[in-house]
Structure 1
Amino acid sequence: MSATPELRHLRAFVTVAEELSFSRAARRLHIAQQALSSQIRQMEKGLEVQLFQRTTRKVELTQAGRTLLAHALPILKSFDIACEQTRRAYSGEIGQLSIAYTPTVAAEALPKLMLEMHRQHPDVSMRACEMWQAESVAAVDEGRFDIGFARCPKIRGDLECVSIREEPLGIVLGSAHPLASTDIVRVADLADETLTIWPRSLSPGFYDRVVEALRAHRFDGPIHEFENLGSGVLFSDTAARVKVAECRAFSVAFPRQYESLPPGYVWRALEPAPTVPLHMFWKRAGGATVSKLVAVARHVSRRELWMAPEPRGDDGSLVAAPGTGTKGALRALPDA
């Protein structure tokens, strides 16, 4: 009864077939010639064929040997590729990443991160899905997504979280609004205006950060939450859009978020300008591919100078950022 050769036998056979010399093949394989001859005999016995014609002067392949060589070469090549791909997958050089992100991240930050990730690791495929902050945290915590990007997320479970960007927040006004005549609007001048913003239940961390920052500078107006959620931006909600256009409300936005506003709307900077951090978060046991994206995000953050200096008091101590309850814990970008 014939037996299937082991992979080591197949590699030994191919080496002898390529060298047509047992002594040279043994040196190439770093084994004794006697051990190599024994492996070939075992292979011939198991297959019940003769693979080589041996004389004292030369070694030649038989027809059976030539047939086996034609099949053995692609088998060994495929196995070597499989081993290399396995090592690369383990190190995070290849694989798949699923990314959860909130609406305001799509304007600039996420495209830059994904572009750099593709440049450094072209064999990692990425799938990105927009969702609200609360949902994105749950998606990563439950393992449905590998990594998330959101503003001031309320972190839970076994998640790592780090800030990669501090971005100033501005406002969107109707172009006929009295405050639209200046390039910079003082927060105090918004004291009695209506703020229109997405529901707190969907993005509690961002909502709290924005409202607390405005309240800290005398804003005391009513808050209107979006009714039509759409993609989470102002112009997906008809009621909010009309309120702003008619100068009955204002909304908040980052500089790049509304670079091309439709007629009737303007973006204005705030004084003082509240900064809102962008965080990335992932499970502690996220794997090598996640670690690659984390490293890329750190690299892009430093290259683009995304991080503002941490706020410090007169005595040099860290000052708690509004809405976080922590003194710089999520603001600093740790070294890789």
Structure 2
Amino acid sequence: MDLRHLRYFVAVAEEGAFRRAARRLQIAQPPLSQAIRQLELELGVPLLIRSTRGVELTTAGAQLVEHAREILSRVEDAISAVRQETASGFLRVGLVGGMLAAAELTGPILQSFQMAHPKLQLSLCELNFAEQTEPLARGAVDVAIVRPPYHDRRIDMFPVLGEPRELFVSTRHPLSTADEVRVDDILDEPMLDMSRAPAEWSAFWLLDELRDGPAPGHGRIDAVTVHEFELALALRRGALTVAASVPRLAPNPMLVGIPLRDASPSMIAVARRRGDRRIAVTEFIRHAGVICRLQHDLVPDAVLP
């Protein structure tokens, strides 16, 4: 039996009408009616007497609603007890790029999760771009906010938000005064060769997937952090695409970000070791997704997965 159907049935019984129950549950009326019919078919008895005035409980419905309330109450108690019991101890959270990991939502995710789980001690670890998944795989961190694309069979990833990309260049670059650029306009531009970053990840930021071959190079760099990339760009002719939040949250007077209107977004994901279903890890992933859905407007032009 689906607990959701029981929750729907209790709402209809208490509201006395499908329309009011649908409004309370914040769902459309047809799927609510369908769920109640499925429940009646599963039990083999009618639960409601429908009329133009609303609905009334049958004898079977009156019996079920009391049991359903008790079941739902016990489920909520169980969930609360498990969360309080297990959401204590120590959780190591990796953040690629530090507080840039989830753009403007990094702080809200961490702060609200800590408030929801005050007994759980968070330990934060900054991850660089070359090793976003390795610390997870070897157990150095429990969960991480990362920036795909990465394909690592040892890791599960859960996208939570996307944001636009910009072209990041020196203020001396010929394109530095442009209001915006399009991908086709920059495919022949020299890009910095990120030699230490994984090939798949580097190809995304250098737009290699949109060319017949790799980007025109302008020197290899060993940069693996935002600040190292900024230093390299400030001294060279090359360019990079970056998440649009980087120029906002890590400004550099020697660099400028130019909106890149038709590039695919940079996705933010929460990652865990494959199959790691510890409750603290699962709760962090769930919580990050909720915060991104509720507060995505804090990240300009954000897109939900």
Length-normalised TM-score, structure 2: 0.61
In the alignment, structure 1 residue 302 sits paired with structure 2 residue 286 = no
* Counterpart residue number, 1:156: 152
* Counterpart residue number, 1:266: 256
Letter in 2 for 1:262: N
CA distance in 1, matches of 2:160, 2:211: 24
CA distance in 2, matches of 1:289, 1:166: 24
Letter in 2 for 1:99: V
* CA-CA distance at 1:203 after TM superposition: 3.8
SS at match of 2:176: helix
* Counterpart residue number, 1:208: 203
SS at match of 1:177: coil
SS at match of 1:148: strand
1:30-49 CA-to-partner distances (Å, cap 9, x unmatched) read xxxxxxxxxxxxxxxxxxxx
Cα RMSD for the two superposed structures: 3.0
* CA-CA distance at 1:236 after TM superposition: 5.6
Higher Rg of the two aligned structures:
1
Q: Map residues 96-135 of structure 1 onto 2, 5 A cutoff.
A: 96-103=90-97, 104-105=100-101, 107-133=103-129, 135=131
Letter in 2 for 1:254: A
* Counterpart residue number, 1:240: 233
CA distance in 2, matches of 1:182, 1:271: 12
In the alignment, structure 1 residue 225 sits paired with structure 2 residue 215 = no
Cα distance change, pair 98–205 in 1 and its aligned pair in 2 (3 A): farther
Structure 1 residues not aligned, in runs of 5+: 1-86, 310-331
In the alignment, structure 1 residue 146 sits paired with structure 2 residue 135 = no
Kept in 1: contact 2:91–2:280 (CA 8 A): yes
Kept in 2: contact 1:90–1:288 (CA 8 A): no
In the alignment, structure 1 residue 293 sits paired with structure 2 residue 289 = no
- 2:178 aligned to 167, 176, 182, which one? 182
In the alignment, structure 1 residue 194 sits paired with structure 2 residue 183 = no
CA distance in 1, matches of 2:131, 2:289: 24
SS at match of 2:115: helix
Q: Percent identity?
A: 17
In the alignment, structure 1 residue 257 sits paired with structure 2 residue 249 = no
Kept in 2: contact 1:137–1:153 (CA 8 A): no
1:94-113 CA-to-partner distances (Å, cap 9, x unmatched) read 22110122215165343231
* CA-CA distance at 1:159 after TM superposition: 3.2
Kept in 1: contact 2:182–2:262 (CA 8 A): yes
Kept in 2: contact 1:89–1:95 (CA 8 A): no
Stretches of 4+ moved more than 4 A in 1?
87-91, 216-220, 234-239
* CA-CA distance at 1:215 after TM superposition: 2.9
- 1:171 aligned to 164, 167, 171, which one? 167
Kept in 2: contact 1:100–1:148 (CA 8 A): yes
